[in-house]
Structure 1
Amino acid sequence: ELLDSLSARFRKALDRSLVPVAESLRYEFPEDLPITSHVETIREKLKENQVVIVCGSTGSGKTTQLPKIALAAGCGRSGRIGCTQPRRIAASSLARRVAGELGAEFGNQVGYKVRFDDRTADRTVVKFMTDGILLAETRDDPMLYQYDCVILDEVHERSLNVDFLLGYFKLLLPKRPDLKLIISSATLESERLAAFFGGAPVEEVEGRLFPIEDCWIEPGEDEELTDTVARGVTFINDMDPHGDILVFLPGEREIRDCAEMLNGRKFPNTEILPLFGRLSAGDQQRVFNPSRFRRIVLATNVAETSLTIPGIRYVVDSGLVRLSRYNPRTRIQELRAEQI
């Protein structure tokens, strides 16, 4: 009872402090994003339903625009709008971008929280975080009273954290009729999600369609992965000097080796930019900043979802990803490079 009383007092204080902040934010929707034509429909569904499911492929704009749609639907007044991401880099970079679009101060009205890095304030209305952070918050605040809307993004990745959160909200929502839940997914598993949440409405958003041409490069005999990738990048650079190149590699070691190899080839007017989870926030931000040079971005799968890097014309995919797997024989987690 004491905990419930304290939580109620916290909610009232948060309510008084967030209303003027939420009302001061401006939310305009870019006309070139596919989700913009669905804004009114999603807003009305969110007003009339506790759970809304949004399906949209990469480039539809759902990740950056859903928090703004929630604001337009009246959320962010009696509690924060929380938006989960599967990766730290996505949470931090999206917070910066959405803060700019809302005309808000980053780290104040819009912020993020990841492990060992909390860039939020008492006046934070839109809070980006990893799904692990939200899961950890359920221990101290099992009713999630600090939120009046939660957006679970990239649900199609189906991590243990996401699956646990889906089950948790299934039990929590009947106890919190004032709490709104938006589930965002890039794949069409919407019917299963809708059935799980008692027939929740689904909005499907089309993605941006571009003509895509696939080319294959066979690895040479006894050729290292980084050599094959560097050969592919060199082929693209010789064929067309315009447009940025995004290269997917399984891990930090391969990125560093490939960067060293490409720097040795001394491509003219070219920047080699690494992108992986352990980079500092400043180095990560470099891939989103405009440049007068061609950029070759060497990234792990952190660049695969949530993040849209501007200027990319070519993609080189190694076909490998490093994943953490539980080994039942040794009873420990192992980091393995696996084929996609």
Structure 2
Amino acid sequence: MNDALIRELQTLLPRCLTHDWVRLGARLVRLLRDQRHSRHHDSILERLLTEVRQSAELRELRRAHVPAITYPDSLPITARKDEIVAAIRDNPVVVIAGETGSGKTTQIPKMCLEAGLGIEAMIGCTQPRRVAALSISRRLAEELAVPWGREVGCKIRFDDRSGPETYVKLMTDGILLAETQGDPLLAEYNALIIDEAHERSLNIDFLLGYLKGLLAQRTDLKLIITSATIDTAAFSRAFDNAPVIEVSGRAFPVEVRYEPLDPDGEERGDETFVDAAVRTAVRLIAESTTGDLLVFLPGEKDIREASDLLEGRLGGAAEVVPLYGRLSAGDQQRVFAPTAVRKIVVATNIAETSLTIPGIRFVIDAGLARLSRYNPRTRTRRLPIEPISQSSANQRKGRAGRVQAGICIRLYSEDDFQARPAHTQPEIQRANLAEVILRMKAFRLGDISTFPFLNPPSPAAISGGYTLLQ
């Protein structure tokens, strides 16, 4: 075996892209152990060396062509840029809490680039929903003045717009979880941003637990956890008291008005929350001359009903745009398109986080959402309509203050708001654990009783899950 080729390979491998270093290094180790096909070794070494050289050249090209980074002065997070960049460089895990409108979602990937990440491997950023992943990736490409799908990419189910030139890749949390199957070390990335971690979906909890174990194996990997709420202590504790940076302030103020439904009228069926939302939207269109509206309703059926009522009452005075999870990606993108008349977006909680819909000045919040709940007594899963938490209500309020001063009208009382829980219950606490166990088996995440959940299920609940599967 040619010792000169081996020495050159060993010298060049650390200069490769991270995923090539892992992949080609493993091939070299297997080749060095192989005693049966020694006459082919030199030709295989030469092919390996060609691939290693190409990877090292691509890494240097990436280093030389990092996009120019600028930050909007109007965003509150810009003032904390140097502190955040230093924290990312100095710590394996950083927790960043920022109010809606602080700019954390679009600016933190750029701060990772400034910290020197994204060269040897990509900066990955997860979003709970595909509409957010698509819109944020386009916005980031625009701010960096690069073509979308090249330096800034996006991957959702059935559509991957990323490649060898990609520095920052947006994706849904489900996509990253699926990637752990083919790439357990997640070597494609040297930084991961788990955005909107406060939503505490099963995917987010699975990812946080998986990454906790992965960080012990990959000392080069950086993890940034962002949350729109100030309940960051749990995230910090889970990652060995990781530093927490809180970014306060919002670009624009939002006035909150409480306009609760008449309980007697609601009891008699005289006016539902859909009727109240439509009535309020029609009034706002009549009383004001500028600014679009965002109406939050719990489900697709309510959105269809409200859309029909609004179109009937307003005619061509406003364009009504529905937004919910089952819409195609193309239909979801309609909310970002400019219109000749004022726009009324009628949405589920899909519009609650990450999205900046241009022109929104008014938010009408019914204060309700559909939440998946498992009933262990009847062994059924339901999607009941429930009052949202205070943190969700504040997220909705923040949609109005993204691009100008806004008004949020809540169709419930202030006492009702104060009585609500501060945060939404994590999905692991309201899910069918039999289903969770099966998903963990499918993703090879290990045993549910030892997995490092932020809020582990009780032994009795785990036992009930296994009993149901038997």
TM-score w.r.t. the length of structure 2 is 0.67
1:271 aligns with 2:288: no
8 Å contact kept, 1:15–1:78: no
RMSD of aligned C-alpha atoms?
Answer: 2.3
* 1:226-245 to 2 correspondences below 5 Å: 226-245=274-293
Point out which structure has higher relative CO (alpha carbons under 8 A, 6+ apart): 1
* 1:135-214 to 2 correspondences below 5 Å: 135-208=177-250, 210-214=253-257
Question: Residue deviations 1:237-288, cap 9 Å, x none?
Answer: 2322321111001122211111111111125531111112232333322322
Question: Residue deviations 1:176-224, cap 9 Å, x none?
Answer: 0011111111112223322322232221111315141313141533134
Distance verdict in 2 for CA 1:108–1:216, change over 3 Å: same
Quote the offset at 1:63 in angstroms: 0.3
Query: Partner amino acid for 1:168?
Result: Y
Which one of the candidate residues 98, 109, 123 is aligned to 1:67?
109
SS at match of 2:314: coil
| Greater helix proportion | 2
Query: Partner amino acid for 1:89?
Result: V
> Can you give the 5+ residue segments of structure 1 that lack an aligned partner in the other structure?
none
8 Å contact kept, 2:261–2:273: no
Distance verdict in 2 for CA 1:330–1:134, change over 3 Å: farther
8 Å contact kept, 2:131–2:333: no
* 1:71-150 to 2 correspondences below 5 Å: 71-150=113-192
Distance verdict in 2 for CA 1:85–1:116, change over 3 Å: same
Please give the alpha-carbon distance, in whole angstroms, between the structure 1 residues aligned to 2:321 and 2:56. 43
1:52 aligns with 2:69: no
Question: Residue deviations 1:63-100, cap 9 Å, x none?
Answer: 00111110111110111100011111111111111111
Compare 323-332 and 59-68 and name the one that shifted more: 323-332
SS at match of 2:79: helix
Distance verdict in 2 for CA 1:40–1:257, change over 3 Å: same
The residue that corresponds to 2:422 in the other structure is none
Please give the alpha-carbon distance, in whole angstroms, between the structure 2 residues aligned to 1:296 and 1:330. 40
Query: Partner amino acid for 2:306?
Result: C
Quote the offset at 1:5 in angstroms: 5.2
Please give the alpha-carbon distance, in whole angstroms, between the structure 1 residues aligned to 2:177 and 2:381. 20
Question: Residue deviations 1:132-187, cap 9 Å, x none?
Answer: 11111112211111100000111111112212221212111121001111111111
1:216 aligns with 2:259: yes
Q: How many residues align?
A: 338
Query: Partner amino acid for 2:288?
Result: D
Compare 162-171 and 146-155 and name the one that shifted more: 162-171
Please give the alpha-carbon distance, in whole angstroms, between the structure 2 residues aligned to 1:322 and 1:7. 48
> Can you give the 5+ residue segments of structure 2 that lack an aligned partner in the other structure?
1-19, 28-50, 389-470
Quote the offset at 1:289 in angstroms: 3.2
Compare 203-212 and 67-76 and name the one that shifted more: 203-212
8 Å contact kept, 2:215–2:221: yes
The residue that corresponds to 1:339 in the other structure is 387
Please give the alpha-carbon distance, in whole angstroms, between the structure 2 residues aligned to 1:211 and 1:58. 11
Distance verdict in 2 for CA 1:290–1:7, change over 3 Å: farther
Query: Partner amino acid for 2:170?
Result: F
Please give the alpha-carbon distance, in whole angstroms, between the structure 2 residues aligned to 1:181 and 1:160. 18
Distance verdict in 2 for CA 1:20–1:268, change over 3 Å: same
Distance verdict in 2 for CA 1:16–1:188, change over 3 Å: farther
The residue that corresponds to 2:420 in the other structure is none
Query: Partner amino acid for 1:210?
Result: P
Quote the offset at 1:14 in angstroms: 5.9
The residue that corresponds to 1:282 in the other structure is 330
The residue that corresponds to 1:297 in the other structure is 345
Compare 129-138 and 234-243 and name the one that shifted more: 234-243
Quote the offset at 1:18 in angstroms: 5.0
